């Protein structure tokens, strides 16, 4: 069963990619989508074994089910096999990846219906899904790295799918380069783990951790705690892949790809690879308090930073992109606190409501003929009512609407509030800093989420003042003349059905699965069966935090909701006045804390200067002019003159021979006379 789940998407990718022109676009769509749906159904079957009857599931009592595919690397004592590992953590990720991917495939049949290259698009989608499945079923570090780099390649292909669009090419390259920075740390972490633990397969490495918990490694003149170095390097990879603070700059630009790509890669699956990796390697991270503190602080900073930037963005997809970045910060706070199950819980619920929001935004863009600027929208709830209510459900889940202490709430309410309670329960200065950062972020999240709803669906229609999205040239549906609002229409059922399914997940995923992710510690341990570390003391403390802590996120959510209602419904001039009153702050947030400009000044321009210096100074001046055109030219000139001596006429050569013989005789006679 697990082989089918993993390799069916690869089969679909190969068929659509290699035979797409032969079998046609429609057949390619149906084959890839059908295979993904089969994989999703099988994934739910596997998950049900762990959820409904964990004692009867294969791999119970902490032993993962392993399916060997082939022998991979053999070198001396190193004997690595390609093994598909299935345990509870894997089962959760299988459900997330295949469910969202299959729904995105179905949605794309409608969204990409006019694209002339959609067979290639579906091939890329399935290839990405295969790479992600290889990552989550990995049983050793190198196998995980294969999947890790595979999703990076697929994301590059999908972000730059509209390759004739310069901004899409630039965004794809940016994502690739920024992720290489994180991946460099990740591969160094793998090397360090092998050097310290002597093992590459996970089980052997985990068993070796207690023996090397206090080991040190020499670097220059310092003796460093080995496990801290290993974990920080591995976390550097997670920072790149999961768009954490400092390595986050690629994620908003990745919105240049088609909207289904945003839903699949940048909301529910690829960006959660870093979260999954830290959870999978939780026995290693538990051996380093410093690494855990860094994970928590980086997560808290990411949640706060991205939430502040989301307040002023005008592109509907970029608002949701910064929301994704912020929610990933929440997940890392839970991981840094040691509540790995709660971080995975938010990953699980987030997949449903964030994919719902992205696909809902795609439905809006589809209705507005590829207009993405919310300033050019308004009043759309009457034109696309189904999409409107789907977006409302996604917003309620994202902002965490619910009643603390009761089973009433949307998916994000249970998982996000759980993380906030865990951060407070973690205590110390780190925990309290993270707690306040997350509460403030929850308020900002509520504000920008309802701002998106009000600008897009409420109020009066606003005519386009800022031009249409550039990629309309690639995928224009041509709905005639008139304003985008006048021609707005509801999406077809093939795009709406995935929204219904995701909306059900956004409503129910929290209350249904709360007990196995954030219930009593024994329930969580029974569910995960040793696939990640469970801290019973921390979870118990989180359940007994003061009532003010339990209500803090709800209070922050209500403040954000009221502020957005006041500024975008009752007093629509308030945002303009606020921006004019605080121009510095507004531009600071609008320009994303100027990170792109800062990186351009620190990294891009010096690299360009060095490249130009090597190109014009070394290559042009030294190689081309001094050597090729200088020395080479002199050699060519000399040989050119020498070549002229070779006329090809026999009498010339005979004459030269006679002259030579005469000269030789003259020399011999003269020499003999001198000697005599």
pLDDT in tens, 87-103: 999 999 999 999 999 99
Q: Which two tokens stand for residue 4?
A: 């089918």
Low-confidence residues of the chain, pLDDT below 70?
A: 53-63, 267-268, 463-484, 626-630, 632, 673-676
- For 144-163, write each residue's pLDDT tens digit: 999 999 999 999 999 999 88
Which of 38, 45, 46 is closest to 11 using CA atoms? 38
| Non-local CB neighbours of 222 within 8 Å, separated by 6+ positions | none
DSSP 624: I
656: helix, strand or coil: helix
Q: What is the pTM of this model?
A: 0.88
Distance CA 141, CA 327 (A): 26
List residues bridging with 224 in a β-sheet.
217
- For 555-582, write each residue's pLDDT tens digit: 999 999 999 999 999 988 999 999 999 9
Distance CA 514, CA 414 (A): 7
DSSP 166-219: HHHHHHHHHHHHHHHHHHHHHHHHHHHHHHHHS--BHHHHHHHTGGGTT-EEEE
Distance CA 335, CA 340 (A): 5
Residue in the block written with tokens 């309309």:
472
Q: How many helices (H) and strands (E) does the chain have?
A: 28, 4
Q: Can you give the pLDDT at residue 194?
A: 92
Decide: 588 and 308 in contact? Cβ < 8 Å: no
Instruction: Return the number of other C-beta atoms located less than 10 Å from residue 188's C-beta.
Output: 17
| Non-local CB neighbours of 159 within 8 Å, separated by 6+ positions | 168, 171, 172, 175, 254, 256, 257, 261, 265
Which of 352, 292, 300, 309 is closest to 327 using CA atoms? 300
List residues bridging with 572 in a β-sheet.
none
């Amino acid at each position: 069963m697990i082989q089918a789940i993993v390799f069916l998407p690869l089969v679909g990718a190969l068929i659509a990619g290699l035979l797409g022109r032969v079998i046609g676009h429609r057949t390619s769509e149906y084959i890839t989508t059908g295979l993904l749906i089969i994989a999703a159904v099988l994934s739910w079957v596997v998950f049900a074994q762990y959820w409904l009857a964990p004692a009867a599931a294969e791999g119970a009592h902490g032993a993962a089910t392993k399916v060997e595919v082939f022998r991979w690397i053999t070198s001396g004592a190193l004997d690595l096999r390609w093994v598909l590992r299935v345990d509870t953590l894997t089962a959760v990720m299988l459900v997330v990846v295949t469910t969202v991917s299959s729904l995105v495939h179905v949605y794309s049949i409608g969204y990409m219906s006019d694209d002339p290259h959609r067979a290639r698009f579906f091939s890329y989608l399935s290839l990405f899904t295969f790479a992600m499945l290889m990552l989550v079923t990995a049983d050793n570090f190198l196998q995980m790295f294969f999947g890790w780099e595979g999703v990076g390649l697929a994301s590059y292909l999908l972000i730059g799918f509209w390759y004739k669009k310069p901004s899409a090419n630039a965004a794809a390259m940016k994502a690739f380069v920024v992720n290489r920075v994180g991946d460099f740390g990740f591969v160094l972490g793998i090397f360090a783990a092998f050097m310290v633990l002597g093992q590459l397969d996970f089980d052997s490495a985990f068993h070796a951790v207690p023996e090397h918990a206090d080991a040190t490694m020499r670097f220059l003149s310092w003796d460093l705690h080995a496990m801290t170095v290993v974990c920080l390097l591995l976390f550097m990879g997670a920072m790149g892949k999961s768009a954490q603070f400092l390595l986050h700059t690629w994620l908003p630009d990745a919105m240049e790809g088609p909207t289904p790509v945003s839903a699949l890669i940048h909301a529910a699956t690829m960006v959660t690879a870093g979260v999954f990796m830290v959870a999978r390697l939780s026995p290693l991270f538990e051996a380093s308090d410093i690494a855990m503190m860094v994970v928590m602080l980086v997560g808290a900073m990411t949640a706060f930073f991205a939430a502040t930037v989301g307040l002023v963005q005008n592109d509907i997809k970029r608002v949701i992109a910064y929301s994704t970045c912020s929610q990933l910060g929440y997940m890392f706070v839970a991981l840094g606190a040691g509540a790995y199950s709660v971080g995975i819980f938010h990953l699980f619920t987030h997949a449903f409501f964030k994919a719902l929001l992205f696909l809902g935004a795609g439905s809006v863009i589809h209705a507005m003929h590829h207009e993405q600027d919310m300033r050019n929208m308004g009043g759309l709830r009457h034109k696309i009512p189904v999409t409107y209510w789907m977006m409302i459900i996604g917003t309620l889940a994202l902002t965490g609407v619910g009643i603390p202490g009761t089973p009433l709430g949307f998916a994000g309410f249970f998982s996000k509030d759980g993380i906030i309670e865990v951060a407070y329960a973690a205590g110390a200065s780190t925990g309290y800093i993270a707690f306040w950062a997350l509460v403030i972020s929850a308020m900002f999240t509520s504000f920008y989420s309802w701002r998106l709803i009000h600008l897009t669906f409420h109020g009066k229609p606003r005519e386009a003042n800022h031009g249409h999205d550039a990629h309309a040239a690639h995928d224009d549906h041509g709905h005639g003349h008139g304003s985008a609002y006048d021609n707005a229409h509801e999406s077809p059922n093939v795009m709406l059905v995935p929204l219904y399914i995701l909306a059900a997940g956004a409503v129910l995923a929290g209350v249904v699965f709360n007990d196995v992710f954030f219930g009593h510690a024994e329930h969580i341990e029974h569910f995960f069966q040793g696939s990640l570390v469970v801290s019973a003391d921390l979870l118990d403390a989180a359940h007994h935090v003061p009532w003010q802590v339990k209500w803090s996120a709800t209070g922050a959510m209500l403040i954000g909701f009221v502020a957005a209602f006041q500024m975008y419904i009752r007093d629509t001039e308030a945002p303009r006045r606020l921006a004019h009153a605080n121009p510095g702050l507004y531009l600071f947030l609008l320009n994303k804390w100027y990170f792109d400009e800062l990186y351009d000044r620190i990294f891009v321009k010096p690299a360009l200067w060095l490249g130009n210096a090597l190109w014009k100074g070394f290559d042009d001046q030294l190689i081309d002019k001094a050597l090729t055109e200088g020395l080479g030219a002199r050699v060519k000139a000399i040989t050119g003159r020498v070549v002229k001596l070779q006329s090809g006429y026999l009498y010339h050569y005979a004459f030269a021979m006679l002259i030579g013989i005469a000269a030789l005789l003259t020399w011999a006679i003269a020499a003999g006379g001198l000697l005599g």
